[in-house]
Amino acid sequence: MRKPDPTYFRKTEECLKNNLRIKAWPLALVALTLFSTTRAVGSAPPKADAPKADCAFSNPGYSGWCRQTVPMPADTTPKQACEAVLRCLNGNACASNYCNAQNIRSGWRLEEVKPSKPPR
């Protein structure tokens, strides 16, 4: 029986190390992305007592009215906050999924707006 060439084992070991290195980085990046609990720099935590607006929307393709309670950014009215959600419902450039109606992207109307009452 022939004696194996020692360079063969060295090359195989190098290939295994490179494969491990190539596979480990993407896994580490995915893990950091999924399990990161840090907030984005500059974003303040939401306040529990921040003003909110109660909005009601209708659409012929949606059963009943969709009601959403949304936070009101500083210096906005409840109507402005609800209109922002309306623009989101009627467009595709929205990251939020309001009314669990991601497939209905037109025809929404704002029916009712009022300031949300804080919980007691």
- pTM for the structure as a whole: 0.58
* Alpha-carbon gap, residue 85 to 80, rounded angstroms: 9
Q: Which amino acid is at 87?
A: R
Q: Where are the domains of the chain?
A: 1-37, 52-115
Lowest model confidence (mean pLDDT) among 45-54, 60-69, 77-86, 98-107: 45-54
Contact call for residues 89 and 108 (beta carbons, < 8 A): yes
Lowest model confidence (mean pLDDT) among 23-32, 73-82, 83-92: 23-32
DSSP secondary structure string for all residues of 57-119:
EE-TTSSS-EEEEEE--TT--HHHHHHHHHHHHTSS--SS-GGG-TT--S--EEEEEEEPPPP
Average pLDDT over residues 82-104: 88
